[in-house]
Amino acid sequence: MLVPCGHLDKRNVEAEIELIGDTKLVIKAKRGERAAFDELMRRHYDLARRIALGFAPIPEDADDLVQEAFVTAYVRLHQLKDPECFGPWLAAIVRNEGRMWYRRRSVQPVLLALDGDEPGDPSPIEHASVRTARESVVRDSVREAIADAISVLCSQQRQVVRLHYLEGYDYTETASLLNVPIAAVRGRLDRARDVLRRELSEMVISKAWGLGGRDLDAIRAAATVASSDPDRQVLNAILFTGKGQIVSTDTHRLFVCKRESFAEMPRALISAQLGRELRDTYADARNARLCIEENEAMLRLAEGWEMRAPLIDEVYPDWEKIVPAEWMSRAIAKCGDWLQSLALLSRHNGNETDNVLPRVLVVISPVDQRITLRQDHQAASAAPGEIAHEVSVWFPARFEQGEQDLIMAMNPVYLEQSIRFLALEPDAEVELCANSHYNPILTRSVGEGDTFIVTMPMRRVDRPRSGGDVR
**CA–CA separation, 205 and 294 (whole Å):** 8
- Would you state the pLDDT for residue 125? 36
Cα 395 off chain centre by: 39
Fold of 5-104+127-205: Arc Repressor Mutant, subunit A (1.10.10)
How far, CA to CA in Å, does 439 sit from each of 77, 235, 326, 370, 434? 59, 21, 12, 21, 7
**What is the chain's mean pLDDT, rounded?**
79
pLDDT value at 109 more than 60: no
- Would you state the pLDDT for residue 256? 97
Cβ-contact 377, 455 below 8 angstroms: no
- CA-based R_g, the chain, Å: 31
- Would you state the pLDDT for residue 20? 80
**CA–CA separation, 169 and 227 (whole Å):** 61
Give the H/E segment covering residue 26: helix 22-30
**CA–CA separation, 101 and 93 (whole Å):** 12
Structure confidence at residue 367 as a pLDDT band (50, 70, 90): very high
**CA–CA separation, 142 and 334 (whole Å):** 53
Q: Is 139 strand, coil or helix? A: helix
Q: Where are the domains of the chain?
A: 5-104+127-205, 208-319, 323-470
> Mind listing the pLDDT tens digit for each residue in 60-71?
778 888 888 888
With a pLDDT cut of 70, the percent of the chain lying above it is 76
CATH of segment(s) 208-319: 3.10.150.10
- Would you state the pLDDT for residue 21? 83
Q: What is the pTM of this model?
A: 0.57
CATH of segment(s) 323-470: 3.10.150.10
The answer to whether domain 208-319 and domain 323-470 are alike in fold is yes
pLDDT value at 121 more than 50: no
pLDDT value at 394 more than 90: yes
> Mind listing the pLDDT tens digit for each residue in 202-230?
555 446 789 999 999 999 999 999 998 88
